[in-house]
Amino acid sequence: MRNAQVLCSAVMAAVLVGLLGAAAQAEVKVGQVDVVAVVDQYERTKDAETDAKLAEADLKATAEPKIQKVEELRLQRDGFNKDSEEWKRLDEKALEAEVELRTWLAVERVRLMRKQRDVLLDIYREIQKAVGRAAKEKGLDLVLAKAFLTPGQIDVSEVQSLQDLKRHIVSTALLYPGEVVDVTQDVLDALNADYKASKKAASGAVVPEG
């Protein structure tokens, strides 16, 4: 298993180094995007996080009377002797109300998760399109995530032998990134501009041309 992982890492490193080497010979331009920064600073991401918090708050507010109903039934039940028919009847009603509450909550949470997942997938598609546009504008042939183009750092204190050093080097996907064009800000500016325009259009506001 370990040999397979080492082999996989070696292949990845060889492909990337070969790709960047070929890029230099054929004058192929390589770009990079700091995806983490784009996601964090994209206005739609911030709005999506706010919407998710509001949706969670609405769910809790809607659940409150249902929870109160269960608690009231238990209080009524506890006013009777545990061996009485009335206690058993109210205990059954409290159980039914609790099961109904749990089922309702489970369904509503799945709906929220699906909605949030769809938004995140849409954001991912928008980022892909923005990266593609930036690549065309900059004349780039290849755009990679910034983290993938960051050379790995080997902690010398962890190296115990020459074989260990070799394993560390082989497992490092990138040793030298070469010249790359950072288009992070271009992608972020395009995303936020498009999103602001879409929000204005959705609200019925007139979007100025140019």
Give yes or no for a contact between 33 and 138, defined as CB atoms under 8 angstroms apart. no
Give yes or no for a contact between 193 and 46, defined as CB atoms under 8 angstroms apart. no
Q: What is the pLDDT of residues 6-45, one digit of tens each?
A: 444 544 555 555 555 554 455 778 899 999 999 999 999 9
Region 185-200: what's the mean pLDDT? 94
Please state, in angstroms and rounded to a whole number, the distance separating the CA atoms of residues 127 and 107.
30
SS (H, E, C) 127-146: HHHHHHHHHHHHCCCEEEEH
- Whether the pLDDT of residue 172 is over 70: the answer is no
Provide the whole-model pTM: 0.67
Q: What is the pLDDT of residues 39-95, one digit of tens each?
A: 999 999 999 999 999 999 999 999 999 999 999 999 999 999 999 999 999 999 999
Q: What is the pLDDT of residues 114-171, one digit of tens each?
A: 999 999 999 999 999 999 999 999 999 989 888 766 666 666 666 677 776 666 666 6
3-state DSSP call for residue 201?
helix
